[in-house]
Amino acid sequence: MPFIEKIRNYRSLSIVGLEKNTGKTVCLNYILRRLHEIGISTAVTSIGVDGEQVDSVYATAKPEIVLYEGMQFITSQRHYLQRRLVSKIVSVDERRTALGQLVTAEVLCQGKALLSGAATTGILRQQIAQFKKNNVQLSIVDGALSRLSLASPTVTDAMILATGAAVSPNIQQLVSKTKFVYRLIKLEEIPSSVHHSLNNISSGIWGIDSEGVAHDLGVKSVFLLGRGEDKLFNYGNTIYAAGAVSDRLLKYLSSQPNISKCLLIVQDFTKLFISPEVYSDFTKRGGRIRVMQRSNLVAITLNPTSPQGYTLNSSDACSTLSEALECPVYDVLAKH
């Protein structure tokens, strides 16, 4: 598939889903097989647990993760002992998880394994950095559940978005929900001239003046907005929210008379915990959102089957989504 060539341009990749059971593991297995065939050294881990034989919620069969000779992987001590492949231990992390210490190993003979990795994105960043030091060409993070935070450009260089019938068995609803997230992923970046004043800001809401200088508004987060609403526009119409952004902030900004001039800057799309309705109202009134860093979306994949038994026509669903998003959508099972 064309996106395999795109993946080769990056050092790290996250696979995230809009919902559980959108085909992340199927996509991961396809990518791992293709990378093995073309000789790309690969490491893989997960946030949460992935690769179970049976879905813990729906009790349906799930695909297991297949790892190939030469690949490195990280999993918990408990799941490392349950592996069905031959491997050697590279290192053991001293930090403990609920499933034991995290084990980094190299596959000697291909087989299957459960992946249960880091609990935080901070640890993931450290693991990816270590893989790079070990001359691994590509590190892949498989997201358990619908953890879009893995797709942040502060964690991985690129991302794949998995969607499908588990999001909605209704094709129009599926298109609507997928398109909304796609729009957030594709939000424009701010000019490089503004980056300098924002790079070292990790929390709070800041006002940006006409010279691109950031000023602390004394509001520690959007959840404490009521204490500083009157300060938001002290330095102009551009605001930087360093943490998570909810509907509350967008609703407040939408109610302001200067909304048509308002520019809200966030770190990246994963910081936006907003509903389609509130975002639509904000933009229709003239409000704009820009990001410090845009995530590199290399592919959108589709799982036409839901665990409840609904099945979409794969070809029609891919075609409809592709037309709505104006980009290719792939069903990896239908293509290989």
pLDDT digits (tens, 9 = 90+) for 46-80: 886 654 554 544 444 557 899 999 999 999 999 99
Q: Which domain holds residue 243?
A: 192-291
pLDDT given for residue 336 in this prediction: 45
Question: Are 32 and 176 within one domain?
Answer: yes
Question: Are 181 and 197 within one domain?
Answer: no
Question: Are 161 and 260 within one domain?
Answer: no
Q: Work out how many domains the chain is built from and give that number.
A: 2
Is residue 199 a contact partner of residue 221, using CB atoms and an 8 Å limit? no
Question: Are 37 and 125 within one domain?
Answer: yes
**Domain with 109 in it: what CATH number?**
3.40.50
pLDDT given for residue 59 in this prediction: 47
Question: Are 303 and 277 within one domain?
Answer: no
| CA–CA dist 250, 328 (Å, integer) | 31
| CA–CA dist 1, 139 (Å, integer) | 19
Question: Are 94 and 232 within one domain?
Answer: no
Q: What percent of the chain has pLDDT over 70?
A: 92
Q: Structure tokens of 173?
A: 């609803």
Q: pLDDT-based confidence at 38, cuts 50/70/90?
A: very high
Degrees to nearest 5, angle at CA 61 with 116 and 164: 85
Question: Are 174 and 311 within one domain?
Answer: yes
| CA–CA dist 148, 182 (Å, integer) | 12
Question: Are 56 and 169 within one domain?
Answer: yes
pLDDT digits (tens, 9 = 90+) for 7-26: 999 999 999 999 888 989 99
Q: Could you tell me if residue 145 is left (phi over 0), alpha (psi between -120 and 50 degrees) or otherwise beta?
A: left
> Nearest to residue 1, comparing CAs of 24, 29, 31?
31
Question: Are 11 and 33 within one domain?
Answer: yes
What is the CA 175 to chain-centroid distance, rounded? 19
Question: Are 224 and 162 within one domain?
Answer: no
Question: Are 23 and 159 within one domain?
Answer: yes
Q: Which residues contact 39 (CB under 8 A, 6 or more apart)?
A: none
Mean pLDDT across 253-268: 93
pLDDT digits (tens, 9 = 90+) for 92-114: 988 778 888 999 999 999 999 99
pLDDT digits (tens, 9 = 90+) for 180-212: 999 999 999 998 878 888 988 988 899 999 888
Question: Are 137 and 261 within one domain?
Answer: no
Is residue 259 a contact partner of residue 288, using CB atoms and an 8 Å limit? no
| CA–CA dist 307, 313 (Å, integer) | 15
Q: Is the pLDDT of residue 223 over 70?
A: no
